[in-house]
Amino acid sequence: MSRVITSADQITFNRSDLQPMPVPGKVMMVKPTFFDVEYVINPHMKNQVGRVDTMQAENEWEHLRDGYKELGYSVQIVDGVEGYPDMVFSANQSLPYIAPDGGKEVVMSVMNSSQRKGEVPYIEEFYKQEGYTIHHANLTGDESFEGMGDALWHFKRGLLWGAYGFRSSLKVYEQISDLFDVPVIALELQSDTFYHLDTCLCILNEDTALIYSDAFNAEGLELIHAVFDTVIEATSYEAETLFAVNAVCPDGKNVLIQQGCTDVNQKLRDAGFYVHEYSTYEFIKSGGSVFCLKMLLW
C-alpha cells in the first residue's frame, strides 16, 4: 500500500523506526563535453543561450570531480552525448535505491521537456552495466518525473522527499512508494525559479536540513519542520543567485556548495558542518549547481 504523505498530521512514523539506508560511497558524473545553454526551460536560462564559457565549465566540473575524490568517493564518469547539453546534470535522469538486502534498483526519469527526454536511455545503459534492476514509472501524456532533481532520500533512511508542480507529477510518488515500500513526503513547489526540489531543500543529515522557505507552501513547511529538528534557511539572494541550497552533504558532515554563499556557510559552520566551496557559475546559467552535477550511488 502506497504511503504518500501530504500534510504533517499524516506522519505516523518515528524517524528512528524507518528502514536504515547506507550512506553512498560512489559518485556518477556526466562529462561536460557538450554542455551549453541552447534552449530555455527554466527562468535561469533566460538570456543565457550561447553564453556559456565551455572551457571554464570544464574547469569547474573537473574541480568538483576532484573534490569528491579528495573526500574519498570513487567517481564513475559517463560520456556526454552531442545534442544533449543538459545531460551533465546527472541528478535528473534517475532515482536509485538500495534495498535492505543490498539489492540495487533504479527508477528511470521521464523528463518534462522534449529537449531532455533522449538523455535517459544513456543513463539507463550505465545502470545496466552496474547490475541495477531497472524500473520505469508508469506515466502518460504530459506527466513527468525528473529523478533526484525532485526526489531526495532522507539521510540514512528509507524515506523519500518528493516534489511536484513543475518537473514531476504527484502520481509518480505513489508508484515509487509501492515499488520500494517506503513512505514519501510530497511537497508542492510554488515558484518556477525553484523548479526542482534540489534547488530549495538540501538534506544535511538525519535531523538537519537547509531550505529556501519561499519555495514551499504552508503544508510543505510544516512537513519539513515536523521531520527535521534543525532547519537552516538560505536568504533569497544566496538561494536564487548562488544556488546555495543546491549543495550536497553526502556523509552528514562535509557540505559541497557553490562559492560565495557567505550567510549560509556561516550557518552551516555554526551547526558543525565542514564547508567546501566550488565555483559552478557556468552551470548556474543553466539553472543547476553542485547537487545537480552528480548522482550518489552505493
225 as an active site residue: the answer is no
288 lies in the binding site for ligand ARG (CB under 6 A): yes
User: Contacts for 67-74 with beta carbons within 8 Å, 24 or more apart?
Assistant: 67/256, 67/276, 67/278, 68/27, 68/29, 68/256, 68/294, 71/250, 71/251, 71/254, 71/276, 72/25, 73/25, 73/26, 73/27, 73/250, 74/25, 74/26, 74/27
Per rule CB under 6 A, is residue 165 in the interface with ligand ARG?
no
Shortest distance, position 216 Cβ to ligand ARG, whole Å:
16
- Tell me the torsion sign for CA atoms 32, 34, 37, 41: negative
Active site residue 196: yes
In b/e form, how buried is each residue of 231-252, taking b as 16+ CB within 10 angstroms?
bbbbbeebbbebbbbbbbbbbb
* Selected binder of ligand ARG within 67, 149, 165, 220 (CB under 6 A): 149
Q: How far is the CB of 287 from ligand ARG (least distance, A)?
A: 4
Pair 24, 68: CB distance under 8 Å:
no
Which residue's Cβ lies closest to ligand ARG? 288
User: Taking CB under 6 A as the criterion, which residues in 90-129 touch ligand ARG?
Assistant: 91-92, 116
Among 52-60, 134-142, 223-231, 285-293, the segment contacting ligand ARG (CB under 6 A)? 285-293
Q: φ and ψ at 152, to 5 degrees?
A: -120, 130
Are 49 and 249 in contact by the 8 Å Cβ rule? The answer is: no
User: How far separated are the first and last CA of the chain, in Å rounded?
Assistant: 27
Residue with smaller CB distance to ligand ARG, 5 or 88: 88
Q: Which residue is catalytic, options 196, 200, 261, 276?
A: 196
Q: How far is the CB of 186 from ligand ARG (least distance, A)?
A: 18
* Site map (CB under 6 A) of ligand ARG, residues 232-271, x = contact: ----------------------------------------
Number of residues that bind ligand ARG (CB under 6 A): 16
Residue 238: CB partners within 8 Å, gap ≥ 6?
Answer: 244, 261, 262, 263, 264
Kindly state the smallest distance separating residue 14's Cβ from ligand ARG, in Å: 30
Interface stretch with ligand ARG, choices 28-36, 57-65, 273-281, 283-291 (CB under 6 A): 283-291
Footprint of ligand ARG (CB under 6 A): 41-42, 45, 86, 89, 91-92, 116, 149, 196, 198-199, 286-288, 292
Catalytic amino acids?
Answer: 196, 292
